[in-house]
C-alpha cells in the first residue's frame, strides 16, 4: 500500500510531465499527441505545428482549437482559455461539448460531421467557468487526417460580446430614431389636418360661392370657378390622404384591424390593385408599438407593390399563431429585381422595426412569381 508521501510524489511527477508536455506542444517541439479513448490510445499528429505557426496562433485575438470529430480538444490557444475562463491545461484534452449548451450541442453535431468535407459557421453561447455565457461565432474547417484515418477539425472562435453590445446599441438608437420619426409624423399630420386642410376647405367654399354668384351669362368665368373648385377639392383630399398616411387617427382610436381595412381600401381604390384582407379577431388590443410596427410594414409592402411589383392582386392576413401574432403579405408581381434598391431599403427599415419589438421578418421573392413577407411578433405576456 502506497504511503501519502509516495502518492504525493507521483502526483507531482505526473503534473510536471503534463506541464512539460503542454510547453512542448506550444513551442512546436512535438508533432504527435496520444489521447486515451474507449478503444484504446489514439495517436494524433500535429501537422504544421512549426514554432512560427504556433507563435502566430498564440498571438491571435480569437480562440483557436484543434478537435477530433469526437470533439476531443487536441490543442487550444490562450485566447480561448481566457474566453471560457478555464486554465489552459483543463481545456486541452477535454471535450468541446462541455462548453456548449444542450441546444447548441444538437445544432453543432451535424455541422462538425459536414465540416470534415467542406467547413461551416455557427453562432453559439459558450459556457464559461463562472457560469456566464459568452456569445461566439465558430468557424469550422477540416484539417488533414490523423492516425487510423480519423479527421481533425480546426475551430476559430470569435467572441461576439462587443459585437452584440454594439448591435444592441445600434438597435436602440434606431428605435429612438423611429420614435422621433413617429412623433414628427404625428406633428406634421396634425398640422396638415388642422391647418392646411381647413384652409383648403375655406377656399373650396369660396370657390363654390363664387360659382353660385356668377350668372349663366358669365359662362366662361363660371366654368373656370367650377374647375377651380374641383381642383381645390382634389387637393384637399390628397392632403387628407397624406395626413392619414403619416399618422392614421383610426389606428389610435379603433385599432389595427380598422386601420388596415382603411388603408387597404384606399390603396385598392387609388391603384386599382385588388387587396384581400383577413384579420383574425384578437381578444385584446396589441401594445401601441406593435400595432404601429405591423401597420408600417403593411404600408411599406403596399408602397413596394405600387412602385415596383406590377401586381394585380395582394393578400394581407393577420392572425394569432400560438404565442405570436403573424402577418403575411403576398402579391403576384414580378418579384425583386436588381434595380429595386428603394424597396430593399424600405424592407430593411421595417425589418429593424420588427426586430426591436422582438419579432422577425422574412421575405421570399421570386422573379416573375411575386413576393411574400412573413412577420412574426411575440404577444405580450398576460
> 335 vs 21, which has greater pLDDT?
335
The answer to whether residues 125 and 136 touch, using CB atoms and an 8 Å cutoff, is yes
Q: Record the cell numbers describing residue 131, joined without a space.
A: 457560469
Task: Quote the percentage of the chain above a pLDDT of 70.
Answer: 82
Asked if 18-159 and 255-382 have one fold, the answer is: no
- Residues 213-234: what's their mean pLDDT? 84
Question: So what's the pLDDT on residue 269?
Answer: 92
Question: So what's the pLDDT on residue 34?
Answer: 62
Q: How far apart are the first and last CA of the chain?
A: 67
- Spatial distance between the Cα atoms of 326 and 377, rounded to a whole number of angstroms: 7
Other beta carbons within 10 angstroms of residue 244's beta carbon come to: 19
Q: Record the cell numbers describing residue 371, joined without a space.
A: 413576393
Secondary structure element (H or E) that encloses residue 75, with its range? strand 73-76
> 10 vs 203, which has greater pLDDT?
203
Query: What ranges do the domains of the chain cover?
Result: 18-159, 165-247, 255-382
> 134 vs 1, which has greater pLDDT?
134
Annotation: CATH topology of 255-382 = Heat Shock Protein 90 (3.30.565)
The answer to whether residues 349 and 300 touch, using CB atoms and an 8 Å cutoff, is yes
Q: Is the pLDDT of residue 234 over 50?
A: yes
- Residues 244-259: what's their mean pLDDT? 86
Mean pLDDT (the chain, rounded): 82
55-94 confidence digits (pLDDT tens): 666 777 899 998 887 789 998 999 999 999 999 999 999 9
- Spatial distance between the Cα atoms of 144 and 76, rounded to a whole number of angstroms: 17
Total-model pTM: 0.58
- CA distances to 125, 270, 353, 355 from 164, rounded to whole Å, are 12, 44, 18, 14
151-188 confidence digits (pLDDT tens): 688 899 999 988 888 877 877 887 788 788 888 888 88
The answer to whether residues 323 and 381 touch, using CB atoms and an 8 Å cutoff, is no
Could you confirm whether domain 18-159 is CATH 3.30.450.20?
Answer: yes
Confidence class of residue 325 from pLDDT cuts 50, 70 and 90? very high
Question: So what's the pLDDT on residue 112?
Answer: 74
Amino acid at each position: 500500500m502506497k504511503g501519502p508521501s509516495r502518492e504525493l510524489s507521483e502526483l507531482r511527477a505526473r503534473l510536471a510531465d503534463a506541464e512539460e508536455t503542454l510547453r512542448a506542444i506550444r513551442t512546436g517541439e512535438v508533432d504527435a499527441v496520444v489521447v486515451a479513448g474507449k478503444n484504446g490510445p489514439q495517436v494524433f499528429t500535429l501537422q504544421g505545428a512549426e514554432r512560427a505557426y504556433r507563435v502566430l496562433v498564440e498571438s491571435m485575438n480569437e480562440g483557436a482549437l484543434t478537435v477530433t470529430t469526437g470533439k476531443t480538444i487536441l490543442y487550444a490557444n490562450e485566447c480561448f482559455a481566457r474566453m471560457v475562463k478555464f486554465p489552459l491545461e483543463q481545456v486541452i484534452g477535454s471535450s468541446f461539448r462541455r462548453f456548449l449548451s444542450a441546444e447548441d450541442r444538437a445544432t453543432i453535431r451535424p455541422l462538425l460531421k459536414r465540416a470534415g468535407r467542406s467547413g461551416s459557421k455557427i453562432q453559439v453561447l459558450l459556457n464559461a467557468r463562472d457560469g456566464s455565457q459568452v456569445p461566439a461565432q465558430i468557424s469550422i474547417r477540416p484539417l488533414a487526417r490523423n492516425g487510423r484515418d480519423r479527421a481533425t477539425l480546426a475551430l476559430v472562435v470569435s467572441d461576439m460580446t462587443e459585437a452584440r453590445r454594439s448591435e444592441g446599441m445600434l438597435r436602440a438608437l434606431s428605435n429612438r430614431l423611429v420614435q422621433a420619426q413617429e412623433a414628427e409624423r404625428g406633428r406634421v399630420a396634425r398640422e396638415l389636418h388642422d391647418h392646411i386642410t381647413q384652409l383648403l376647405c375655406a377656399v373650396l367654399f369660396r370657390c363654390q360661392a363664387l360659382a353660385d354668384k356668377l350668372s349663366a351669362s358669365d359662362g366662361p368665368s363660371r366654368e373656370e370657378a367650377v374647375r377651380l373648385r374641383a381642383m381645390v377639392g382634389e387637393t384637399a383630399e390628397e392632403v387628407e390622404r397624406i395626413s392619414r398616411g403619416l399618422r392614421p387617427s383610426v389606428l389610435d382610436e379603433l385599432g389595427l384591424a380598422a386601420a388596415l381595412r382603411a388603408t387597404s381600401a384606399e390603396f385598392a381604390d387609388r391603384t386599382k390593385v385588388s387587396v384581400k384582407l383577413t384579420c383574425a379577431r384578437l381578444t385584446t388590443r396589441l401594445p401601441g408599438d406593435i400595432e404601429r410596427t405591423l401597420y408600417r410594414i403593411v404600408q411599406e409592402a403596399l408602397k413596394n407593390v405600387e412602385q415596383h411589383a406590377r401586381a394585380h392582386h395582394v393578400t394581407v392576413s393577420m392572425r394569432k399563431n400560438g404565442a405570436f401574432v403573424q402577418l403575411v403579405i403576398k402579391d403576384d408581381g414580378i418579384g425583386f429585381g436588381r434595380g429595386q434598391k428603394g424597396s430593399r431599403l424600405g424592407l430593411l427599415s421595417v425589418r429593424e422595426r420588427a426586430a426591436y419589438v422582438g419579432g422577425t421578418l422574412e421575405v421570399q421573392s421570386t422573379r416573375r412569381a411575386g413576393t411574400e413577407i412573413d412577420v412574426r411578433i411575440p404577444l405580450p405576456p398576460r
